[in-house]
Structure 1
Amino acid sequence: MTVINGYEQSDREEKLDILNLPSLEKKAKDIIPTGGFGYISGGSEDEWTLQENTTAFNHVQIIPRSLTDMENPNTETSLFGNKLSTPIMMAPAAAQGLAHSQGEKATAKGVASVGALMSQSTYSSTSIADTAAAGNGAPQLFQLYMSKDWDFNNALLDEAVKAGAKGIILTTDATVDGYRESDIINNFQFPIPMANLAKFSEGAGQGKGIMEIYAAAAQKISPADVKRIAEYTNLPVIVKGIQSPEDALLAIGAGAKGIYVSNHGGRQLNGGPASFDVLHEIAKAVDHRVPVIFDSGVRRGSHVFKALANGADLVALARPIIYGLALGGSQGVASVITHLNDELKIDMQLAGTQAIEDVKKAKLFRK
C-alpha cells in the first residue's frame, strides 16, 4: 500500500481469477477508499441512466447459428491502420491513481500486454509521456477535455503528438459536471495531483472537487473546434459524447475521423437514453464513413457482441478495468480484458461469426 496525502493506494500486482466483470465491483470497493470508490463508480442524480446503460443490452438478442462450419473465432481488428488483438478498448477515465499507485501507467501496461487500445484522459494521474512509455509503443489515444485556455489545449496536444498518440478524442458532453450525489455525500476532493494539469494549475487538481476541475473547461464547443484540433495536430479527431445522428453528422462535417457514442457512463445527463439504445440510428447515419466507438454499460462479452452488431467498430469500458487495476495492477487490467474477450469468443462461436467483421454483419433479434 502507498499513502499519499492520507489516501491509501493499492500496490497489488497479480493475475485475477474472474468469474464475471460485475463481481469485481464489490471486491474493489473493499480496497479503494470510500471517496475514490464513489467517484469511480457513481453516476449522476439517482443513477437511472447509469443502470439503464447495462439493462438496455437486453432490448435485442443474439441469434444463435449452427451448421456454420467454423471454430476458433478471431477477435483481431484495427483502428486507423493500427492492428489490435481485440475490439475491446480502455475508455478514457480520469484519476486512476485513485485505484492504484501506478495509475494509468499500470493500465497502459496491462492494456498493451493483451493487444488492446489504450486511451488516457486529460485528467490522468500520470503524464501523457509516462503513460505512453508504459505502453512500450502500443497504440494509444489521448482524450482532451477542452479548456477555455488554448495555450493549455495546445500544450497538451503537443505532448500527445510527441508521445506518439494515434488520435485525439475530443469529449463534448462534459462542458459542466453531472450532478453526482456520491461525491457530494463523501465531500470528495482529489487527493492526488493530475499530472497533465501540473504546468497550468496550482496543486494540479489536488484538493479540488470535480465541479472545480470542470469550471476551467470550455462550456462552448463547436464544429470549428473539431477542425482546429485536427489541423493543429494532423491526427484523426474522434468526437466523444455523441448521442444523436444529428451530432454525428455535424462532427463528420467538421472533419471528425471517428464518432464515439457515449453518455459518459451515466455520469452526465441523467434521464437521457441508454447509450446502446441510440447506437443503431447513429451508426446508420454515419454509414461507415468513419469508425464508430461505443461505451457505457458494457459488462459482458454478449454486450460487446451486440454493440458490434449494432454498428460499433470498437467497444470501450472503464469501471471494470479500473476495478481490475485496483485488485491486480497491470496484470489485473490484462485479466479483465482477457476475460471479456474470452466471453466474446464464446458468443462469436455460438452465433456462427468467425471474425469481427462477421459480428458487425450479424443480425440481432429486435422485438
Structure 2
Amino acid sequence: MKKFVCVNDYEEQALKVLTPLARDYYKDGAGEEISLKLNKEAFNKIRILPRMLRDVTKVDLSTTVLGEKVSMPLGIAPTALQRMAHPDGECANAKAAEAAGTIFTLSTISTSSIEEVAAAAPKATKWLQLYVFFDRNLTLELVHRAEKAGFKALVLTVDAPSFGDRRNEMRNNFNIPLHLKYANIEEYSIRNNVYNRPIHKLFDKSLSWEDVSWLKSQTRLPIVIKGILTVEDALLSIKYGASAIQVSNHGARQVDGVPASIEVLPEIVQAVEDKLETYIDGGITQGTDVFKALALGAKMAFVGRPMLWALACDGENGSKDVLEILRREILLTFSLSGSNFAASGINVQVRRWYIPNRPRGNL
C-alpha cells in the first residue's frame, strides 16, 4: 500500500475498496447535501493569523476534558456500523484511541458491544453515545452497562428523533448486512421480537428537555448533549444539567440546509461562557481545522468519517496512523502559528472573512 500522508489519501482509497452499500452509507448526507459540502467549505473560509517570534520549542497539545487528561484536543466521534468497514470495527478504533491517549465514543448502534469495546481497549477513555428509546428500560440498561464497563460519559444525541432524508440509502434499500448485528441491542431485539424493525423506529420521538433531567437522575456519569446548533439550546443544556455540549449537525445527515458546526460555534461559546465545556464535530479533516475550532472556542474536536476511511484501508493500523497524522498536523499548526499549549488561551487569532464585523476567535 502506498504511503498515505493525510486524511484525504485515506478517503480516496476507502471509497475505492468499500462495498457500494457501505460507501454510500458512510459518505452521504441528507437531501441535496448542501450542508455536507458546507461542513468542509466553512473551514476553508477561516484564516489563521500567526504570531511571530514566540518560543515554540515545546508544544503541549494535552488538555483536560470532563476531568480526564487527554494527549491532544482531538477525539473519535460516534459512527454507526463500523464493521462494515473492517471486521474489527469499533474495537479497532477504540484501540487506536487508547494508543493515542484520547477519547473514543461508541455509537449506540454499533456493531461491537459495550463490553467488547471495553475488553479491547480497557485503558482508553471511552464515552457512550446514547439514543433514548421509547422503551426507557432499554435506555437504562445501556447506561448501566456503560457504567459497569468503565465508560466515562454519556453523549446524548438530541438531533435524531428519526433519520434524515438520506437518498442513497433509500436507493440502495439499505439494511444492516446479514453477517452483522446491532450489538448493543441484540438480546433486547430477540427478546421483544423487534429484530427486523428499522433501528430508528425504536427511538423516542417525544424526547424533551425534561428527559435530560431524568437521565441525569439515573446515572453518575456526566452528560454531553450532542447536536446543538443554536444559542437557545446551548443555554437550555446548562439549565437542565449537562456537563458539556457538542456543536454538531450530525455529519449533515439529518436536515439539509442547516449551518456547518464551525459557523455557529463562536456565538454558542460566547453565550455559554465557562458554564460547561463545548466540543465540535463536522467537516474536520486536517490539523488546521482543529486549530481553527480551538481558536473559536471549542475545548475539543471530534472526527467521525476519517476513522471509517482509516478502518477500510488498514484496520487498526490505519486508525492509529490517521490519529498520528492529525496529531502531527495539529502540532505543526500550533508551532507555525506561535502557540505552544492547547489549554492556555494564547493570543493567536483566526478571522472569519466571509462574515464581516464578527469578533475574532483567540487561541
Aligned residues between the structures = 350
Aligned ranges 1:97-246 → 2 under 5 Å: 97-191=83-177, 192-202=180-190, 212-246=198-232
Q: Unaligned 5+ residue runs, structure 2?
A: 354-363
User: C-alpha distance in 2, partners of 1:361/1:236?
Assistant: 30
The verdict on how the C-alpha distance between 1:117 and 1:67 changes in structure 2, with shifts beyond 3 A counting, is same
Q: Does 1:275 align with 2:261?
A: yes
Kindly indicate whether the alpha-carbon contact (under 8 Å) linking 2:189 and 2:195 is maintained by their aligned counterparts in 1: no
Kindly indicate whether the alpha-carbon contact (under 8 Å) linking 1:305 and 1:359 is maintained by their aligned counterparts in 2: no
User: C-alpha distance in 2, partners of 1:321/1:365?
Assistant: 29
Superposition deviation, residue 350 in structure 1: 1.1
Q: Unaligned 5+ residue runs, structure 1?
A: 1-13
User: C-alpha distance in 2, partners of 1:107/1:17?
Assistant: 20
User: C-alpha distance in 2, partners of 1:361/1:154?
Assistant: 44
Deviations 1:218-241 (A, max 9, x none): 112212111111221111000000
Deviations 1:267-322 (A, max 9, x none): 11101111110011011111021111100000111100000111110100110111
Cα RMSD after superposing both structures: 1.7
The verdict on how the C-alpha distance between 1:232 and 1:361 changes in structure 2, with shifts beyond 3 A counting, is farther
User: C-alpha distance in 2, partners of 1:362/1:225?
Assistant: 40
Per the alignment, residue 293 of structure 1 pairs with: 279
Deviates more, 1:73-82 or 1:333-342: 73-82
Letter in 1 for 2:6: N
Kindly indicate whether the alpha-carbon contact (under 8 Å) linking 1:190 and 1:206 is maintained by their aligned counterparts in 2: no
Kindly indicate whether the alpha-carbon contact (under 8 Å) linking 2:38 and 2:260 is maintained by their aligned counterparts in 1: yes
Superposition deviation, residue 182 in structure 1: 1.3
User: C-alpha distance in 2, partners of 1:362/1:285?
Assistant: 21
User: C-alpha distance in 1, partners of 2:62/2:220?
Assistant: 27
The verdict on how the C-alpha distance between 1:227 and 1:65 changes in structure 2, with shifts beyond 3 A counting, is same
Deviations 1:168-226 (A, max 9, x none): 00000011111001111222110121100112113998766xxx211110112212111
User: C-alpha distance in 2, partners of 1:340/1:194?
Assistant: 30
Three-state SS of the structure 1 residue aligned to 2:52 is coil
Kindly indicate whether the alpha-carbon contact (under 8 Å) linking 1:141 and 1:169 is maintained by their aligned counterparts in 2: yes
Aligned to 2:4, which of 12, 18, 23? 18
Deviates more, 1:334-343 or 1:25-34: 25-34
User: C-alpha distance in 1, partners of 2:161/2:248?
Assistant: 15
Per the alignment, residue 259 of structure 1 pairs with: 245
Kindly indicate whether the alpha-carbon contact (under 8 Å) linking 2:50 and 2:349 is maintained by their aligned counterparts in 1: no
User: C-alpha distance in 2, partners of 1:60/1:78?
Assistant: 26
Three-state SS of the structure 2 residue aligned to 1:198 is helix
User: C-alpha distance in 2, partners of 1:277/1:59?
Assistant: 10
User: C-alpha distance in 2, partners of 1:206/1:62?
Assistant: 50
The verdict on how the C-alpha distance between 1:52 and 1:64 changes in structure 2, with shifts beyond 3 A counting, is same
TM-score (norm 1): 0.92
Deviations 1:86-137 (A, max 9, x none): 1110001111011010111111011111111101010010110111121122
Per the alignment, residue 361 of structure 2 pairs with: none
Letter in 1 for 2:262: F
Deviations 1:142-180 (A, max 9, x none): 010110110110100010010111110000001111100
Per the alignment, residue 93 of structure 1 pairs with: 79
User: C-alpha distance in 1, partners of 2:296/2:4?
Assistant: 27
Per the alignment, residue 81 of structure 1 pairs with: 67
Superposition deviation, residue 361 in structure 1: 4.9
Letter in 1 for 2:3: D
Three-state SS of the structure 1 residue aligned to 2:327 is helix
Kindly indicate whether the alpha-carbon contact (under 8 Å) linking 1:36 and 1:188 is maintained by their aligned counterparts in 2: no
Letter in 1 for 2:350: L
The verdict on how the C-alpha distance between 1:270 and 1:18 changes in structure 2, with shifts beyond 3 A counting, is same
Three-state SS of the structure 1 residue aligned to 2:187 is coil
